[in-house]
Structures are given as structure tokens and as C-alpha cells.
Amino acid sequence: MAGRGNLSALALINDIKQHELDMIGVELSALRAQQDDFARQRQALSDSAARESAESTSDMRVYLHAYLSSVDRQRQGLLVESDKLSAQIEVLEEKLFDTFRESKTTRTVLARAQANVDLEAQRAEYIIDSKHARWPTLRHLPPSRCRRS
């Protein structure tokens, strides 16, 4: 039977696991937001390059190739950074899954331990009630004084 101390310890472990899940979730959200920002920047660069290509005059076409190459390098740099974030996100998602599994296990053990404590309390109450039924004269005594079997 799990005692009250064990229940408290399991509840604390459960709270810690929930906090870990929350912190991983916050970190994942930040990385995904940064990845989305990189995607927006890449799209903005593409849009800018397309606009400059369409609006360039014959005088500007001499410089257009250099500009488009620069935009392409910037886009590639953003893509490399985004790929690094993807690797970090993958690691965090695995950690999130593991932590969730541990949390679920802890909650299951906590629920079983609580059910056992509740069952023991019901058994104790039943025993006290059955003693009172057998010895009607002891009904008015506090349970601590009815421990004769």
C-alpha cells in the first residue's frame, strides 16, 4: 500500500513532469516561430527579387545578376539556419514524447496509489462499522477506543 508520503512524492513528480512538458512546449513554440520567421524572410527575398527583375530597366540589368546572386545567397543562408532549427525541433519533439510518456506513467501510478489508499480507508471504515454493529454498547465510543478484536 502506498502511504500518504508516497502519494505526495508521486504528485510532486507529476507536477515536475508537467512543468517539463510546459517548458519543452515553450521552447518548441519559440523555435517554430523562428523557423516561420526565416520562411517569411525567404519569401520576402524571393518576392523582392521577382519584383526587381520585372521592374528593372535596361540600365539596371547590368547589376541585376549580382543582386539576384546576393538574394540567392541570403535565401540559402536562411535555409541553412532553418534546417538547423528543424534538427533542434526534431530533438525537442523526441524529448517531448519521452517526457509525455513518463508523465503519463507517473499519472497512472499516482491514480493507482490513490485508489489503493482510498480502498484501504474504505476497508478501515467498514471494519469500524462492523465492530460497532457487533458491539452496540461501543457505538458511542471514539474509534480509537474500539480497537479490541
Contact between residue 24 and residue 95 where contact means Cβ atoms under 8 Å apart: yes
One-character DSSP codes across 35-74: HHHHHHHHHHHHHHHHHHHHH--TTTHHHHHHHHHHHHHH
Per-residue pLDDT tens listing for the chain (149 residues):
456 778 888 889 989 999 999 999 999 999 999 999 999 999 999 999 999 888 888 888 889 889 999 999 999 999 999 999 999 999 999 999 999 999 999 999 999 988 988 898 888 888 887 776 665 555 555 555 555 54
